[in-house]
Structure 1
Amino acid sequence: MSDIPETIRRAVIRDIYRKADELGWDGLSPVDRTTWYNRWVDDEELGGVLTRYMPRDRARMWIKDVPMKHYNRARSGIGPYAGLVGNPLPSAYDIARYALGEDWAVLSGTLREKPNRCHVTDGNHQKLLIWGNPRNLKSLVWAGLNARVDGLPAPLVVISLLQGERLPDSERRRHKRLCELAGLDVQVITTRATRTASANPEGRTHLLSDG
């Protein structure tokens, strides 16, 4: 797999991410995803390129385990392929400013994943910002509990919905109650993966709206 020239590797990953964006990948079932992995291997511009460097079965595995394993993290500005996404999700900088205010910024070198989290500061105080979608609530709460046990800055759990997604009021109350029982501050926000005229330190910014 390492025999793929870097320029070709990145071009293929960029194309895969473009196709995944067009399909609305997060909304696809496992069966649908499997179907698209197979179609991508059969696509001359994707699989046709990869099979110059590896067998067909390895090409399918490569698509699943390399670019798509990093897909959502890359969209959040995290990991080696962050610069290859065309429809990025709000970055840590965006989430911090929206959840806490314009005075808050991400501390360099603190960004982590699984779940997404980072240290943020307003110059006087620090917090541990932990964010993700409702499906990742268990991981968000667990990370918050570990932060409290480890004596890290006070955790703030941000449940982030994409525009068009709906969280029923009963579920919203349940999520907030679970976080409160764990001793965690929590916010629910709705975001749009949309570029605007100004940019954050990573060259991206997003429109955000109340959740």
Structure 2
Amino acid sequence: MKRVPDTIRNEILDRIYELADREGYLTNNRVDNAVFMERLLTNPDIGGTLEAFMPKEKVRVYIKDSMLNRYAKDRRSITMEKLLNVLAEVFQQPVSLVNTDNDVSLCNTESGFYIVVTIGSYTKWETALRKILLFIGKTNLINQGSELKKIIVISTGGVPIPTGEEEVLKRALSEVGVGVLVI
């Protein structure tokens, strides 16, 4: 397998992003995405070009693992600036970043309470919860006796959460003192 030159890889990636946006890749079901993948593989500018650098059977894995996973991550990403703005809006006061470790951020509000927040997906909220709890367990940055809010931000990337499930998740996590924001 030859290395795909950066210029060619970037051209293919740009084309896949364009097609995936037009197709609604992040909101499609598995069957529709399988059909989309077949179109990418048979597209001479995508699958055809990649076949010049790797065996045909590796092209599918390369597109899925290297390109479509990156696409999904890029489209679902939430910048720190956006996160702080959302928190400031929710708590109706300025929020500043204190520390970030292992995808968990510790923030402080103007009124003095702390927020421990991480970003997760609907299907991986348990991982986000675990990260928050482990962060709290090991940090010494939170003043003892200070009020502490725990928030999981669910990044949907445009993919709707199944009907009714968002409220169920919010209710369940509120039982253990964790708030949920869906973006």
Q: Which runs of 5+ in 2 are unaligned?
A: 143-147
Partner of 1:194: none
2:152 aligned to which of 148, 152, 157: 157
Kindly report which structure 2 residues correspond to 1:28-177, keeping only aligned pairs within 5 A, or say none: 28-77=28-77, 90-101=78-89, 103-106=94-97, 110=101, 112=103, 117-121=104-108, 127-151=115-139, 155-160=150-155, 165=160, 168=163, 171-177=165-171
- Structure 1: which 5+ runs fail to align? 78-89, 192-211
| C-alpha distance after superposition, 1:136-175 (max 9, x if no partner) | 333332333333333476532123456794765x534422
Give the TM-score normalised by structure 2: 0.73
Does the 8 Å CA contact 1:76/1:92 hold for their aligned counterparts? no
Task: Tell me which structure has the larger Cα radius of gyration.
Answer: 2
Q: Is the 8 A contact 2:76 2:156 kept in 1?
A: no
Number of matched pairs? 172
CA distance in 2, matches of 1:91, 1:2: 34
3-state SS of 1:3 partner:
coil
* Distance (whole Å) between structure 1 residues aligned to residue 38 and residue 159 of structure 2: 29
Cα pair 2:119 2:128 within 8 Å, conserved: yes
Amino acid at match of 2:21: D
Moved more, 148-157 or 57-66: 148-157
* SS of residue in 1 equivalent to 2:45: coil
Quick one: percent identity of the two aligned structures? 19
Q: TM (normalized to structure 1)? A: 0.64
Could you list the per-position Cα deviations for residues 69-118 of structure 1 after superposition, in whole angstroms to 9, with x for gaps in the alignment? 222222244xxxxxxxxxxxx43321221123473355687573xxxx44
Q: Would you tell me which structure has more helix in proportion to its own residues? A: 2
Amino acid across the alignment from 2:13: I
Cα distance between partner residues in 1 of 2:165 and 2:126: 14
> Are the aligned partners of 2:117 and 2:132 in contact in 1 as well (CA < 8 Å)?
no
Task: Determine if contact 2:151/2:181 at 8 Å carries over to the other structure.
Answer: no
1:188 counterpart SS class: strand
Q: CA deviation at 1:43?
A: 0.3
Change (3 A) 1:57 1:166: closer
Q: Relative contact order, CA 8 A, sep 6+: which one is greater?
A: 2
Please say if residues 41 and 59 of structure 2, whose CA atoms lie closer than 8 Å, have aligned partners that are also in contact.
Answer: yes
CA distance 1:106–1:43, shift in 2 (3 Å): farther
Question: Superposition RMSD on alpha carbons, in Å?
Answer: 3.2
Q: Secondary structure at the match of 1:131?
A: strand
Instruction: Identify if the C-alpha distance between structure 1 residues 91 and 111 changes in structure 2 by more than 3 Å, giving closer, same or farther.
Output: farther
